[in-house]
Chain A
């Protein structure tokens, strides 16, 4: 009966494997979390889900499987155990418990209304009337699998309710972004090579040299492996990008505070790249784009951040720049081509929702640069693209 849970988790794209599933079965066999769905919720989560980014999907799957816990017959045993209230232990044997009639929800409601009409006085205990205690399906603090609680307080904070709270919604990797998460994603951008001072003992060569030296100790050192990745970050600022300023500044500060790259250069532009790039957001201090192409070697990894939506003329026309004084001789698309020709690894990160990407200029730019959304998943994919060799 649990197998459906396994497949529901799969359906919600939680990466569970048989190994983990077996571990859960083993724990259940050892008698753990048998008496309590809340324990089961935590047990299964700790064994099946290995990243907080999937906690939310787990919650959704859990809800789907266990939500109807009052009604589906295949989890009746579960219901019996789950509803067992430690403050109100009933002296029933499991056989007796099994005899307690299970009602479906319509019938339950019908009976409830009927009984409400018939009942004339307070009633506690017993198996029929609405009241506290007892095994009537109606009332509270009583015992009936799948009854209607009338007043009183829920004694157990149910696991389904915990799941329904979806407290981990913000940890999903496909939805949110904070500086730290971006940093984690950017950390994958690495290219290890032996650079820097010779500070690692090369044991093999040391032994070799020493024996050749007739046992006279001779130490050989080598360079240690370090990240040689260099990053060029180009960001669209102003205009339609103002909407995304918080997100972009997070990406920027993540890249900036990751002292993990050998070199990080960043420049700004507005809407499209032309003959100049800017060193500041206000676009006062500029450098010439062609000199950048000359000075930076092609092995810099390039991340361009922008929404890529602009007037068509801004992309393909001469003098198309939105800024009158820019007077670009060469159309923006030509500059973008030059960039993508010069640098072997370029990606475009677009903060707009991918559903807007059918805009003409976005589609054109997407042909030139692989485009990814500004989400953790998007950045991860982009970084993956940046590290592949081709």
Chain B
């Protein structure tokens, strides 16, 4: 059997490079109509993926940013009781019409959209541990019931659901079983070069080579609290271009170190390490 063309829907955009594995996962998720759960180190482009799927397939993107206080129902609808109580008290609206106090959440919005959209549920692990489980039925059936108005909201078109997680908490098994899962690996230097090229087409080849060398040197230092990631690299390249730094300089030292290392302890550690003096090292270890 030959792969049907509809399976190869998403192939990245001109600003977003996808690995074959990720492309595969995205297309499987679309084909099977299951949510795609994306995990990965911060700065590997999890959130951007949804934006680029929407862009690449020219669909509307609906973003649901999950916070620690978010509850599953917030995504479905919100019943503004306080407003209704207030109206009951001051009586300037017909309070028997409950419909006007029901506001659809992001998931509800995606359901009633006239055409298929992309729904991004961002950082799902931030919410309470039961949060994803509470959404299982809604994501499976693509419909939910509003008891207040006795209405059922059913999806016109099954949205493409992308769920991102920073793995701050374990996700419940029942939720995982229904997802397509992909872990975005940290790009290797070849792929990183492509990514940098996409963002800075005019960057000098030698500069990029040195930049990548230094970047992966920093990446392999395990003592860092927060290793620099793709977004930091891109910022750094931009800073280097703006600062007119020559490639030779990057080879010897790391200008604008603050763009790459965001934690004070990391900067201190790195400086102590590169200066190699006993005193600086002692100062570092003394903290612990």
CB 8 Å contact bits of A172-203 with B (1 = contact, 0 = none)? 00000011000110011000000000000101
Report B76-94 CB contacts with A as 1/0, cut-off 8 Å.
0000011001101100000
Q: Which residues of chain B from 178 to 202 have a CB within 8 Å of any chain A CB?
A: 178-183, 185
Quick one: CB contact mask for B225-244 with A, threshold 8 Å, 1 for yes?
A: 10000000000000000000
- B98 is an interface residue with CB less than 8 A from chain A: no
Which residues from chain A contact B167 at a C-beta distance below 8 Å? 184
* Most chain B CB neighbours (cut-off 10 Å) among A17, A42, A207: A42
CB distance from A354 to the nearest CB of B (A): 23
B89 & A51 in contact (Cβ 8 Å cutoff) = no
Decide: A252 near B32, CB < 8 A? Known: A46-B182, A215-B89: no
Contact A42 B24 (CB under 8 A): yes
CB distance from B86 to the nearest CB of A (A): 6
Whether B81 and A39, one on each chain, are in contact in the complex, defined by CB atoms closer than 8 angstroms, is no
B254 at the interface (CB under 8 A from A): no
- Which one, A27, A49, A187, A224, contacts B31 given CB within 8 A? A27
Q: Are A23 and B32 in contact (CB under 8 A)?
A: yes
Number of A interface residues in the complex (CB < 8 A): 50
Closest-CB distance, B25 to chain A (whole angstroms): 4
B28 touching A46, Cβ below 8 Å:
yes
Is A281 an interface residue when CB atoms closer than 8 A count as contact?
Answer: yes
Measured between alpha carbons, how far is A246 from B31 in the docked complex, in Å? 46
Which residues of chain A come closer than 8 Å to B24, judged between CB atoms? Answer: 33, 39, 42-43, 46
Interchain CA distance A188-B178 in the complex, whole Å: 23
Question: Contacts A20-B177, A215-B88, A217-B85 known; A35 to B2 CB distance under 8 Å?
Answer: yes
Q: Contacts A42-B21, A46-B182 hold; do A217 and B7 have CB atoms under 8 A apart?
A: no
A55 touches B288 (CB 8 A): no
Closest to A203 in B: B81
Residues of B within 8 Å of A31, CB to CB, are 1-4, 7
Chain B CB within 8 A of A353 CB: no
Q: In the complex the two chains form, is B7's CB within 8 Å of A32's CB?
A: yes
| A42, B285: Cα distance in complex, Å | 43
Is there a chain A Cβ closer than 8 Å to B55's Cβ? Answer: no
* Minimal Cβ-Cβ distance residue in A for B171: A50
| B39–A26 touching, CB < 8 Å | no
Residues of A within 8 A of B85 (CB): 206-207, 210, 217
Q: Please, which residue of chain A has its CB at the minimum distance from the CB of B180?
A: A46
Look across to chain B and name the residue whose beta carbon is closest to the beta carbon of A48.
B181
Q: Which of B34, B180, B183 contacts A55 (CB 8 A)?
A: B183
Q: Do A184 and B86 form a contact, CB below 8 Å, given A23-B34, A42-B24, A179-B225?
A: no
CB pair A50 B32 closer than 8 Å = no
Which of B167, B173, B179, B182 has the most chain A CB atoms closer than 10 A to its own CB?
B167
Contact among A34, A45, A224, A253 for B3, CB-based, below 8 A: A34
Q: Is the CB of B20 within 8 A of A52?
A: no
Q: Do B34 and A52 touch across chains, with their CB atoms under 8 A apart?
A: no
A111 to B49, CA, bound (A): 52
A30 within 8 A of B: yes
Tell me whether A46 and B25 are in contact (CB under 8 A). Answer: yes
Closest to B34 in A: A23
Please report which residues of chain A, range 14-43, place their CB below 8 angstroms from some CB of chain B when the two chains form the complex: 15, 17, 19-20, 23, 26-27, 30-35, 38-39, 42-43
Chain B, residue nearest A219 (CB): B82
Q: Does A167 contact B (CB under 8 A)?
A: yes
How many angstroms from the CA of A34 to the CA of B3 in the assembled complex?
7
| B264 interfacial contact with A, CB 8 Å | no
Residue on B nearest A50 in the bound complex, by CB: B176
Asked if A74 is at the interface of the complex by the 8 Å CB criterion, the answer is no
The docked-state distance in angstroms from the alpha carbon of A27 to that of B183 is: 20
Residues of B within 8 A of A246 (CB): 222-223
Q: Is B148 an interface residue (CB 8 A)?
A: no
User: B28: which of A19, A43, A184, A188 is its contact (CB, 8 Å)?
Assistant: A43
What residues make up the interface of B, taking CB atoms closer than 8 Å to A? 1-4, 7, 20-21, 24-25, 28-29, 31-32, 34, 37, 39, 69, 81-82, 85-86, 88-89, 167-170, 173, 176-183, 185, 222-223, 225, 285-286, 288
Binding site for B on A (CB under 8 A): 15, 17, 19-20, 23, 26-27, 30-35, 38-39, 42-43, 45-47, 49-52, 55, 167-168, 171, 178-179, 183-184, 187-188, 201, 203, 206-207, 210, 215-217, 219, 224, 246, 249, 252-253, 257, 281
Q: Which 10 A-B pairs have the closest CB atoms?
A: A52-B183, A50-B176, A46-B25, A42-B24, A34-B1, A50-B181, A42-B21, A31-B1, A19-B177, A217-B89
Knowing that A167-B185, A281-B285 touch, tell me 17 more A-B residue pairs with CB under 8 angstroms.
A27-B28, A27-B32, A30-B31, A31-B4, A32-B7, A33-B3, A46-B182, A47-B181, A49-B181, A51-B176, A179-B225, A184-B168, A206-B85, A207-B85, A210-B85, A215-B89, A216-B89
6 intermolecular pairs with C-beta atoms under 8 Å apart? A31-B7, A33-B24, A35-B1, A35-B2, A50-B176, A51-B181
